[in-house]
Chain A
């Protein structure tokens, strides 16, 4: 055929003409770099929702446990200490933050009053 007869020999432009392993290495490099993408495609191809969830079970369990642990630490770490219920503490709690003298002090002051003055002020006995 005329077309074939007119063909030019361009083989020196082929990299293989000066490097016999060129295309083999080229092919290997491309496949090596494509490995991750091909693996991703294999993994995602044809998965149902249940399979996706099933695949996530391994990271999901420790993540859930970790989240629960962190929540526990957060809640219990900020809890107020339990009140001291001893009788002394209870009486102190009654007068805490009160302005002026507490009632027992007033009573004590009354006891210290002169009895006559008290009676006079109370009605003149």
Chain B
């Protein structure tokens, strides 16, 4: 069986050199002037983190896609409000997070029930084989019970490949806190995965 805890440097880490050496600030200035290429690079650079932050809040692949997509358009319309263009990433992820939370609130009102963000299984494509689907569902179930911030830290670090410092800057939390969140998130997930596999859990999240 394929283990979901394989060491992986982050399959979807953004290769900045392949995209552009231009900083976020330069790209934001160009996008303010309507340069499509610059905005396109920003989208390439932040579409995965945006999706992951939305996923941390909504727990739904489809909703995360919609939220992240809308967030880019909102960010473009309000680009003048980005006071520090060099910190576009953090500003953008805040937009994503807020929109995802608003989405959850709307859903809660619509359903008339108390909706706790739970990771819901995504819809697998026809090409997705059973083993992959099983792993993904286990991971999604394993993410339940983690706080929104810990999910963000875990996904941005272990899936997107961001460093502690980058995560800290963009989420507005100290590096040490990032490390702490990451440690507990991994521990929680390993325990959950172990429990889901039927093996004894290694311990509880503190």
Contact = CB atoms under 8 A, between A and B. Distances in A.
Interface in A72-116: none
How many of chain A's residues touch chain B, expressed as a range? 20 to 34
Given A6-B186, A37-B73, A11 B11 contact: yes
Interface stretch (B33-41, B87-95, B104-112, B195-203): B33-41
Contacts of A33: 69, 73
Interface in A39-94: 39-43, 45-46
How many of chain B's residues touch chain A, expressed as a range? 35 or more
B47 A23 contact: yes
Interface of B: 3-12, 31-36, 39-40, 43-44, 47-48, 51, 55, 61, 65, 68-69, 72-73, 76-77, 122, 124-125, 127-128, 132, 135-136, 139-140, 154-155, 157-159, 186, 189-190
Contact of B7 (A4, A18, A31): A4
Given A7-B10, A10-B159, 18 more contacts: A4-B7, A5-B7, A8-B5, A9-B3, A10-B155, A10-B158, A11-B159, A15-B61, A15-B65, A16-B11, A17-B136, A26-B68, A29-B69, A33-B69, A37-B76, A38-B35, A38-B36, A40-B34
